[in-house]
């Protein structure tokens, strides 16, 4: 009996622990809603010239502020850790809301990002300081924008414009800090995978239902 316990501790338990941590997925089967039905953008100008909407897209949302160029390293982290891995997912967009007057800075950032990968799903949208402040407040977040109307945090919105995250008191998370690459590689990717799983499972269910019909 003792021999079996020793063998279990030495060989089986480490393998189980490795598989658990290597899975890189949190315990949620569905990522909770932090704020329901957030507002869509107005007819705000975008860098691409096209109207940008949050409807029907999984959106990674950020707030660039007036110091967008100074803090461009945060966007590079996001591009490297998340965008490059998932930009081929057609229903995904990365959107930064920035103050009017920062268009040239956004162009420089986008051009730099383009040296690493294609940037078709990067979007920069511009609004007045008052509009940005009002939009941020309706997200009902715990954190605040800085004095430059920016933040290093980014947020996940689903196709119905619900802000998604973790609601457990011990593990509450409404956004992910782009200043820390490890947070993007771990917590954010874990939660993002849950979102993708939800939609893939829904597509599979709908496909199976149509086949039965």
Residue 9 lies in a domain: no
State residue 109's pLDDT score. 97
Q: Residue 81: give the domain boundaries.
A: 32-207
For residue 58, what is the domain's CATH number? Answer: 3.40.30.10
State residue 199's pLDDT score. 86
* Alpha-carbon distances of 131 from 7, 52, 146, 148, 150, rounded to whole Å: 63, 16, 15, 14, 13
Residue 80 lies in a domain: yes
Domain count along the chain: 1
State residue 131's pLDDT score. 97
State residue 30's pLDDT score. 86
* Alpha-carbon distances of 1 from 4, 6, 32, 170, rounded to whole Å: 5, 9, 44, 39
State residue 163's pLDDT score. 98
State residue 24's pLDDT score. 42
Kindly report, residue by residue over 167-196, the tens digit of the pLDDT: 988 889 999 999 999 999 999 999 999 998
Q: Which residues of the chain have a pLDDT value below 70?
A: 1-28, 203-213
Residue 20 lies in a domain: no
Residue 12 lies in a domain: no
Residue 4 lies in a domain: no
Instruction: Evaluate whether 154 touches 21 at the Cβ level (below 8 Å).
Output: no
The neighbouring-strand residues paired with 153 are 177
């Amino acid at each position: 009996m003792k021999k079996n316990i020793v063998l279990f501790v030495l060989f089986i338990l480490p393998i189980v622990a490795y598989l658990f941590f290597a899975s890189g997925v949190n315990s949620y089967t569905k990522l909770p809603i932090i704020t329901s039905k957030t507002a869509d953008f107005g007819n705000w100008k975008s860098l691409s010239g096209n109207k940008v909407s949050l409807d029907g897209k999984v959106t990674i949302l950020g707030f660039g502020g007036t110091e967008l160029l100074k803090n461009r390293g945060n966007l590079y982290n996001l591009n490297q850790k998340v965008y490059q891995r998932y930009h081929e997912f057609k229903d995904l967009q990365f959107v930064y809301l920035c103050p009017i007057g920062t268009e040239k800075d956004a162009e420089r950032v986008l051009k730099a990002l383009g040296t690493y990968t294609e940037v078709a799903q990067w979007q920069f949208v511009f609004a007045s300081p008052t509009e940005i402040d009002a939009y941020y407040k309706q997200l009902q977040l715990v954190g605040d924008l800085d004095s430059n109307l920016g933040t290093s945090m980014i947020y996940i919105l689903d196709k119905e414009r619900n802000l998604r995250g973790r609601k457990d008191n011990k593990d509450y998370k409404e956004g992910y800090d782009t200043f820390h690459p490890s947070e993007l590689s771990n917590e954010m990717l874990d939660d993002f995978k849950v979102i993708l799983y939800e939609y893939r499972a829904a597509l599979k269910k709908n496909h199976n239902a149509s086949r039965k019909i």
